[in-house]
């Protein structure tokens, strides 16, 4: 059952081969047995899930069901869920429960999905390894000594280990794509403005975007279709029709131009990762695409530009966690200043504090022009690089991250090395472009993803290319042996 | 030394929208604490602001009424600081690109002239900018022993902050400017102007310099000026204080000072060194506000007649003096009251103006009511002045009728009939009374005829008494002279 795609599960539900309640119990049981070592969930909403499953079963019985009705879903714990605590991976919100649903969550729920629980993540989405979570690191299902990537590490690990058929995630600088690459799942970060940010706890507002982590491109397309669209409660969501991604999934790739940013294939790219990516490009060429070299000349400035903007916005976004109205409050504050200082000192972890401090610095009088304002200018140049590239090609392809999953603790004392994890992913966030990570092979037993990038609002192209690629390859079927179960059709470890 | 003071004002006017600037919560004043604060106002995690279009319209209205430039693109920024009544830890405000830029306003004020007469002065005050922003909540320090209560009902109420050029040179000018802005926002119906409830607030920037100097002195900022009277007194105090400091060899420190109305003094609140670094940056949750020409022109079409235009019209149409016209147009409701009164009186422009400015204003003042609360409405007052004009009532009788109207006894004509207050102008009736008086006082008649003119008053008194005050005094005088000379 855990090897089935959403379309297959949906067919089984509609054909009454299985009830949503049975399906939900199946996944809840897997979570109960297998997540103890993985730690991919912060909260499992067993009772609520069963309740939602039973009501989905009623909808199915009444003939009032859509494709997603009765499908269990896991949500990154950054999305507010009414009445269910939303921690954002932080002690600050350990006991916070929102009186509203994030728009993306409400939309998914209205199609009749079942929420299994809330997945683990880097604290306030600040991290590339899921090690900054107050609720402990998530382990990579492929190697328990390694990180699953971050910040949507819980969602990626849960889908990779088949503890959930599909999950939501968010991506500010690579937080969907990098863990998808590390865990051998398919992840999409849509165009900025495609999915409402209302109720999605902000890290860096101009970069944050909700998306999907799935077993394959088709599943991701199904769920994104349900999440996407303009929201009157988010002024930055864009009022453009959401196409039916399913209708273009299988279109031919013949003649599609794929650009290869030369800057992404140079020093700093692990040779094993390079080999996997190049093999994937060869497969794409076999599907008829035309590979073209292109340049993104401002690539060297992406990391500093991104971190100045992200941290500046974060320093302001996280000001609301002051211990006054909600969230962690220190014991017996002496006065107002003491309340602020101790509540925030106790409630936030090291990485969050580091980013608040850095962001506060770059917005300060006397530094603003040199840092924040300059970063905004560089951001425009980076976006311009992409605009020029998309005059020549339809899709860009490259690595997701410089390396496969690294060891737990490996980069924790070296934030700058950790930040370099996002070198190929964050330029898209700066430009607002949609990007995908697609399982493309293994290096020394660890999964490696291929990153596909499209122009604004062209998610359909990404789904199409990823789907065609997945029809020709079977990397996305691989499941770590510990989580593979007894199914006959399963594929085990690649080596 | 001869000092010159330089004053600029920052006025915060709460916009009279139904809902908040970035959320759908009500802006009504006086609700139970924290009953009008939704998730957005509380700054809960994940929520986002959405701009209230009506607030933009109102700011544009203000800009058009002050001959300002309406920015086709303006930007909301975050002003970051921690305070318990600021839920998000930042205030959303406009910083580098405000919606209203570079306008002006003409003000008039009275000043002691060279003689005993006061002189009307006027000048044009520049408006640097007016920007949209959200109000904070309120911290309540009383009623919570050793703690502070926070009421977030006000959080997110739309404001425009109107920043003037440092064009004013005295407390009087500053007050005239503030009154003019106050009248204007009420004319435009974009702010209720209620200063007690904090809908209209003012900070003042003040510096002094030797008269003739170009260079500005070090300024202080005065806060908490929540009435016209306080603005005047606080500025006067602060000017004196700065003069004192400089004349005793000290230096004015750039700082924010709080006005204490109880002791009529200003006290330091924080100095420049302690000032916050607000770390302004564009709010990434909000798109730039784009206002196109059609939007602006549609608003221009809805603008009411503005105070200056109305004042000129009152002068030409009603023949009022500039002072009277200025006074009667100082508020939209007052001007409306006046025009209705004139209509009801059958065109008695000057008489109506006098009755409103003297009798009615005096009566309202005594009980602390404003024109909208007046128990005597415009129709009633017009009915009264009509009867004065047509000779039915003498001035003295009119006051009696006014008092009765004030007490709710009905319209002028009803009161006149009920109390029989109609003035006697009939020559026959008056002649009868005169004949009687002449017949009863032969000695005084003889003395008068012998040249004792003063006795005329004695006869007038007798006749007014006999008519119970209703005889027309002019007529009585005229007929008496004739009869006594016969």
Could you report the per-residue pLDDT of B60-72, keeping only the tens digit for each?
Answer: 999 999 999 999 9
Percent of the residues in chain B that have a pLDDT greater than 70, as a whole number: 99
What pLDDT shows up at residue B482?
86
Nearest to B199 by CA among B186, B212, B210, B187: B186
Average pLDDT, chain B: 92
Tens digits of per-residue pLDDT, B104-131?
999 989 888 777 778 889 999 999 999 9
Q: Is A94 on the interface with B (CB under 8 A)?
A: no
Distance, in Å, from the CA atom of A86 to the CA atom of B233, rounded to the nearest integer, reads 53
Can you tell me the mean pLDDT for A115-142? 98
What pLDDT shows up at residue A413?
87
What pLDDT shows up at residue B468?
79
* 3-state SS, residue B29: coil
Residue B335 banded pLDDT, cuts 50, 70, 90:
very high
* Minimum-distance CB partner of B279 among A86, A98, A360: A360
Residue A44 pLDDT greater than 70, yes or no: yes
Nearest to A173 by CA among A274, A314, A42: A314
* Minimum-distance CB partner of A98 among B44, B49, B286: B44
Q: Is A361 on the interface with B (CB under 8 A)?
A: no
Percent of the residues in chain B that have a pLDDT greater than 90, as a whole number: 71
Q: In this complex, do B48 and A360 lie within 8 Å of one another by their Cβ atoms?
A: no
Residue B484 banded pLDDT, cuts 50, 70, 90:
confident
Q: In this complex, do A233 and B90 lie within 8 Å of one another by their Cβ atoms?
A: no
Mutation target for B interface from A200, A362, A363: give the one with most B CBs within 10 A. A363
Q: In this complex, do A201 and B150 lie within 8 Å of one another by their Cβ atoms?
A: no
Q: In this complex, do B284 and A80 lie within 8 Å of one another by their Cβ atoms?
A: no
Q: In this complex, do A319 and B88 lie within 8 Å of one another by their Cβ atoms?
A: yes
Report chain B residues whose CB lies below 8 A from the CB of A343: none
Query: Where is average pLDDT lowest: A48-62, B268-282, B351-365?
Result: B268-282
What pLDDT shows up at residue B391?
80
Q: Is A96 on the interface with B (CB under 8 A)?
A: yes
What pLDDT shows up at residue B449?
87
Residue A306 pLDDT greater than 70, yes or no: yes
ipTM of the complex in this document: 0.95
Distance, in Å, from the CA atom of A415 to the CA atom of A128, rounded to the nearest integer, reads 10
Residue B462 pLDDT greater than 90, yes or no: no
Q: Is A334 on the interface with B (CB under 8 A)?
A: no
Report chain A residues whose CB lies below 8 A from the CB of B46: 79-80, 86, 98, 102, 197-202
What pLDDT shows up at residue A400?
98
Residues in A 304-333 with any Cβ partner in B closer than 8 A: 312-313, 315-316, 318-320, 322, 324-326
Tens digits of per-residue pLDDT, B9-36?
999 999 999 999 999 999 999 899 999 9
Query: Where is average pLDDT lowest: A99-113, B194-208, B321-335, B460-474?
Result: B460-474
Residue A488 banded pLDDT, cuts 50, 70, 90:
very low
What pLDDT shows up at residue A486?
54
Q: In this complex, do A236 and B285 lie within 8 Å of one another by their Cβ atoms?
A: yes
* 3-state SS, residue B13: strand
Domain A6-298+381-491: top CATH class: alpha beta
Tens digits of per-residue pLDDT, B412-451?
888 988 887 777 777 888 888 888 888 888 888 888 888 8
Q: In this complex, do A322 and B89 lie within 8 Å of one another by their Cβ atoms?
A: yes
* 3-state SS, residue B235: helix
Tens digits of per-residue pLDDT, A390-418?
999 999 999 999 999 999 999 888 888 88
> How far lies B42's CA from each of A431, B36, B48, B76, B452, in Å?
31, 10, 11, 19, 87
What pLDDT shows up at residue A493?
52
Distance (Å) from the alpha carbon of B283 to chain A's nearest alpha carbon: 9
Tokens at residue A481, please? 């042996």
Can you tell me the mean pLDDT for A239-256? 97
Nearest to B224 by CA among B244, B246, B203: B203
* Minimum-distance CB partner of A206 among B51, B80, B284: B284
Nearest to A78 by CA among A183, A192, A211, A270: A211
Residue A492 pLDDT greater than 80, yes or no: no
Residue A374 pLDDT greater than 50, yes or no: yes
- Whether the bond into A151 is cis, omega within 30 of 0: yes
Percent of the residues in chain A that have a pLDDT greater than 90, as a whole number: 94
Q: Is A138 on the interface with B (CB under 8 A)?
A: no
What pLDDT shows up at residue B457?
86
Assess contact for A167 and A75: CB atoms under 8 A: yes
Can you tell me the mean pLDDT for A223-251? 97
Read off φ and ψ for residue A250, nearest 5 degrees: -100, 10
Q: CB contacts < 8 Å between A and B, how many?
A: 104
Residue A436 pLDDT greater than 80, yes or no: yes
Residue B476 pLDDT greater than 90, yes or no: no
What pLDDT shows up at residue A490?
45
Cα-Cα-Cα-Cα dihedral of B332, B338, B342, B348, to 10°?
Answer: -140
Q: Which residues of A are catalytic?
A: 76, 151, 175
* Minimum-distance CB partner of B45 among A80, A204, A235: A80
Residue B170 pLDDT greater than 70, yes or no: yes
Distance (Å) from the alpha carbon of B192 to chain A's nearest alpha carbon: 29
Length of chain B: 486
What pLDDT shows up at residue B362?
94
Which residue in this structure is represented by tokens 């809902």? B19
Residue B273 pLDDT greater than 70, yes or no: no
- Kindly list the residues of chain B whose beta carbon comes within 8 Å of any beta carbon in chain A: 39, 42-51, 78, 80, 82, 84, 87-90, 148, 150, 277, 279-281, 284-287
Query: Where is average pLDDT lowest: A288-297, A370-379, B381-390?
Result: B381-390
Tokens at residue B169, please? 């040179």
- What's the sign of the alpha-carbon dihedral A103, A109, A113, A114? positive
Report chain B residues whose CB lies below 8 A from the CB of A80: 45-46
């Amino acid at each position: 059952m855990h090897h089935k795609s959403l379309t297959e599960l949906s067919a089984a539900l509609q054909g009454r081969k299985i009830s949503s309640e049975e399906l939900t119990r199946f996944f809840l049981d897997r979570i109960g047995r297998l997540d103890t070592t993985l730690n991919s969930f912060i909260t499992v909403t067993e009772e609520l899930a069963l309740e939602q499953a039973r009501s989905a079963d009623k909808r199915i019985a009444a003939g009032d069901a859509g494709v997603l009705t009765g499908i269990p879903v896991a949500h990154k714990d950054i999305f507010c869920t009414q009445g269910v605590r939303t921690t954002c991976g932080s002690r600050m919100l350990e006991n916070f429960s929102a009186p509203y649903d994030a728009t993306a969550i409400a939309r998914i729920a209205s199609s009749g999905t079942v929420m299994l629980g809330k997945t683990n993540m880097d604290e306030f989405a600040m991290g590339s390894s899921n090690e900054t979570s107050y609720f402990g690191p998530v382990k990579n299902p492929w190697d328990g000594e390694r990180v699953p990537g971050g910040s949507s590490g819980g969602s990626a690990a849960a889908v990779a280990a088949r503890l959930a058929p599909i999950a939501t995630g968010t991506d500010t600088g690579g937080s969907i794509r990098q863990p998808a690459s590390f865990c051998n799942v398919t992840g999409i970060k849509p165009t900025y403005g495609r999915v409402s940010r209302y109720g999605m706890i902000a890290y860096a507002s101009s970069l944050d975007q909700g998306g999907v982590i799935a077993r394959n491109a088709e599943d991701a397309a199904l769920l994104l279709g349900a999440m996407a669209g303009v929201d009157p409660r988010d002024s930055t969501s864009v009022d453009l029709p959401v196409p039916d991604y399913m209708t273009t999934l299988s279109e031919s790739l013949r003649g599609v131009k794929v650009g290869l940013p030369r800057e992404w294939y140079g020093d700093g790219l692990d040779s094993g990762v390079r080999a996997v990516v190049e093999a994937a490009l060869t497969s794409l060429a076999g599907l008829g695409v035309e590979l073209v070299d292109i340049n993104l000349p401002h690539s060297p400035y992406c990391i500093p530009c991104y971190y100045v903007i992200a941290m500046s916005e974060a320093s302001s976004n996280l000001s609301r966690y002051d211990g006054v109205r909600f969230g962690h409050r220190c014991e017996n504050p002496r006065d107002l200043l003491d309340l602020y200082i101790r509540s925030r000192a106790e409630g936030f972890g090291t990485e969050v504090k580091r980013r608040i401090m850095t962001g506060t610095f770059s917005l300060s009088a006397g530094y603003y022009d040199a840092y924040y304002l300059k970063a905004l200018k560089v951001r425009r140049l980076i976006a311009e690089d992409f605009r020029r590239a998309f005059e020549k090609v339809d899709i860009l392809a490259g690595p997701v991250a410089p390396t496969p999953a690294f060891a737990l603790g490996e980069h924790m004392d070296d934030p700058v090395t950790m930040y370099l994890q996002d070198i190929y992913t964050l330029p898209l966030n700066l430009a607002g472009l949609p990007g995908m990570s697609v399982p493309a092979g293994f290096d020394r037993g660890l999964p490696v993803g291929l990153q596909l990038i499209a122009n604004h609002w062209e998610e359909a192209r990404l789904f199409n290319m990823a789907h065609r690629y997945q029809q020709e390859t079977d990397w996305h079927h691989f499941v770590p042996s510990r989580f593979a179960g007894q199914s006959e059709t399963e594929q085990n470890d690649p080596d | 030394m001869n000092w010159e003071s330089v004053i600029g004002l920052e006025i915060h006017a709460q916009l009279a929208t139904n809902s908040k600037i970035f959320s759908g919560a009500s802006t009504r004043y006086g609700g139970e604490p924290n009953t009008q604060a939704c998730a957005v106002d509380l700054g809960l995690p994940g929520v986002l602001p959405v701009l209230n279009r009506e607030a933009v319209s109102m700011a544009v209205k203000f800009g058009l009424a002050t001959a300002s430039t309406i920015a086709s693109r303006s930007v909301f920024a975050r002003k970051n600081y921690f305070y318990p009544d600021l839920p998000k830890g930042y205030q959303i405000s406009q910083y580098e690109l405000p919606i209203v830029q570079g306008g002006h306003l003409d003000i008039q004020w009275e000043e002691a002239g060279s003689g005993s007469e006061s002189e009307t002065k006027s000048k044009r005050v520049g408006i640097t900018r007016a920007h949209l922003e959200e109000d904070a909540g309120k911290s309540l320090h009383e009623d919570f022993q050793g703690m502070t209560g926070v009421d977030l009902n006000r959080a997110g109420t739309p404001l425009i902050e109107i920043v003037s050029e440092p064009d004013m040179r005295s407390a009087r000018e500053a007050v005239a400017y503030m009154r003019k802005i106050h009248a204007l926002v009420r004319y435009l119906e974009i702010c209720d102007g209620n200063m007690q409830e904090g809908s209209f607030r003012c900070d003042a920037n003040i510096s002094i310099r030797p008269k003739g100097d170009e260079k500005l002195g070090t300024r202080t900022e005065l806060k908490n000026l929540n009435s016209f009277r306080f603005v005047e007194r606080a500025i006067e105090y602060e000017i004196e204080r700065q003069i004192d400091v400089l004349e005793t060899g000290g230096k004015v420190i750039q700082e924010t000072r709080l006005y204490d109305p109880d002791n009529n003094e200003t006290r330091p609140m924080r100095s420049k060194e302690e000032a916050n670094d607000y770390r302004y940056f564009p709010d990434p949750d909000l798109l730039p506000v784009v206002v196109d020409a059609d939007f602006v022109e549609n608003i221009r079409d809805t603008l009411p007649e503005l105070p200056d235009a109305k004042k000129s019209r009152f002068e030409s149409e009603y023949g009022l003096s500039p002072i009277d016209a200025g006074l009667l147009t100082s508020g939209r409701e007052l001007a409306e009251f006046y025009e209705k009164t004139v209509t009801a009186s059958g065109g008695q422009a000057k008489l109506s103006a006098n009755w409103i400015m003297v009798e009615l204003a005096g009566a309202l003042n005594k009980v602390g009511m404003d024109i909208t609360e007046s128990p005597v409405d415009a129709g009633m007052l017009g009915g009264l002045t009509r009867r004065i004009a047509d000779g039915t009532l003498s001035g003295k009788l009119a006051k009696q009728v006014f008092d009765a109207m004030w007490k709710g006894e009905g319209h002028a004509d009803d009161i006149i009939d009920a109390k029989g207050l109609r003035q006697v102008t009939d020559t026959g009736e008056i002649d009868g009374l005169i004949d009687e008086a002449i017949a009863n006082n032969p000695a005084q008649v003889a003395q008068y005829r012998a040249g004792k003119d003063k006795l005329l008053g004695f006869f007038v008194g007798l006749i007014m008494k006999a008519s119970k005050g209703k005889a027309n005094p002019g007529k009585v005088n005229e007929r008496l002279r004739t009869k006594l000379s016969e």
